[in-house]
Amino acid sequence: MTDQTLPIPASEPARRKPASRHVIGWLQAAPLALVLAVFLVAPIVMIVVVSFWGATEFSIYPAFQFDNYAFLFGSDVTYRVFANTFKYALITWIFTLLIGFTVAYFLAFHVRSLTWQIALFLLCTIPFWTSNIIRMISWIPFLGREGLANSTLLSWGVIDAPLEWLLFSDFSVILAFVHLYTLFMVVPIFNTMMRIDKSLIEAAADAGATGWQTLWHVIIPLTKPGIMIGTIFVVTLVMGDFITVRFMSGSQSANVGRMIQNDVGLLQYPSAAATAVILLITVLLVIGILLRFVDIRKEL
């Protein structure tokens, strides 16, 4: 890794010998490195190791066998569940992108005072700091069989009987995903948009571009890094989720996270670990593809 590609420019005055720079750097980074080693690297290693272990009904034992993977790849369920996971990720991505982009665009280009921009932006981000579980629960009065949506539609005469698919269905799962994760799109897109030089937009207008042309040929290309970062957030959060699917589908749909959680519930840790390894590889592949479009380190 060369110096130019590091996230942080050497903004500290260089007055020490290089050797002590590395030593002090590592001393300062030691707590961080320690936490990541124990609670990130070691768990991943552990999962990879355990994915080759065997399990009885009550316990797991060390081994080196490919049974868990063989079973995983030999089962139709695996492919269906993975396909379902991708489906959730794709649909959620489309909605969060469209909504997030529009919201960020409004904030960045149509709200004129900085104070208002910050205030409205905060309003969009505050739910991020509250409980996801509560935010899921709060859909019950809306979507339930006797919920607001059904009773409103009934009273308007749009439907004759309550819609059953509003709650505990793919619909409610995706609705909850969009509800929970759109702000992960809004924040990075707004952040990139705020850095766009406003004179570029004036230039486009002066050159005769319509509003749509400016949007398509100027703003969207310049916003791409923000879109990519938002995409990475949304896709990884949805692909790794298990609780939203569990709660909002009423255990009727499955994704990979649910599969892992099921195995854990049955104490089949090696099988859960094998699924987790495949999930991790899948997520990293997706991120790897997305990172080809953006250099995260430049965006900080």
Please list every residue from 49 through 78 that binds another protein, using CB under 8 A.
50
Q: Which two tokens stand for residue 45?
A: 């290693």
Neighbours of 155 (CB within 10 A): 8
250 makes contact with another protein (CB under 8 A): no
| Site residue total, another protein (CB under 8 A) | 97
Using H for helix, E for strand and C for coil, what is the string for the chain? CCHHHCCCCCCCCCCCCHHHHHHHHHHHHHHHHHHHHHHHHHHHHHHHHHCCCEECCCCEECCCCCHHHHHHHHCHHHHHHHHHHHHHHHHHHHHHHHHHHHHHHHHHHHCCCHHHHHHHHHHHHHHHHCCHHHHHHCCHHHHCCCCHHHHHHHHHCCCCCCCCCCCCCHHHHHHHHHHHHHHHHHHHHHHHHHCCCHHHHHHHHHCCCCHHHHHHHHHHHHHHHHHHHHHHHHHHHHHHCCHHHHHHCCCCCCCHHHHHHHHHHCCCHHHHHHHHHHHHHHHHHHHHHHHCCCCHHHHC
103 makes contact with another protein (CB under 8 A): yes
Residue ranges in 83-102 that form contacts with another protein under rule CB under 8 A = 99, 102
210 makes contact with another protein (CB under 8 A): no
* Least distance CB 300 / another protein (angstroms): 5
Report the residue number, 64 or 129, with the smaller CB distance to another protein.
129
DSSP bridge pairs for 61: 54
185 makes contact with another protein (CB under 8 A): no
User: Which of 56, 74, 114, 122 is the binder for another protein (CB under 8 A)?
Assistant: 122
252 makes contact with another protein (CB under 8 A): no
* Least distance CB 207 / another protein (angstroms): 18
Q: Which stretch binds another protein (CB under 8 A): 153-161, 197-205, 218-226, 236-244?
A: 236-244
Rounded to whole angstroms, the Cα distance separating 69 from 48 reads 11
139 makes contact with another protein (CB under 8 A): yes
158 makes contact with another protein (CB under 8 A): no
Q: Which stretch binds another protein (CB under 8 A): 36-44, 63-71, 73-81, 86-94?
A: 36-44
* Least distance CB 170 / another protein (angstroms): 19
226 makes contact with another protein (CB under 8 A): no
Report the residue number, 30 or 77, with the smaller CB distance to another protein.
30
Q: Which stretch binds another protein (CB under 8 A): 67-75, 132-140, 157-165, 198-206?
A: 132-140
User: Which of 204, 272, 278, 294 is the binder for another protein (CB under 8 A)?
Assistant: 272
CA torsion 54-253-265-60 (nearest 10°) is 0
230 makes contact with another protein (CB under 8 A): no
Report the residue number, 83 or 118, with the smaller CB distance to another protein.
118
* Least distance CB 178 / another protein (angstroms): 8
Q: Cβ(209)–Cβ(218) under 8 Å? A: yes
26 makes contact with another protein (CB under 8 A): yes
157 makes contact with another protein (CB under 8 A): no
40 makes contact with another protein (CB under 8 A): yes
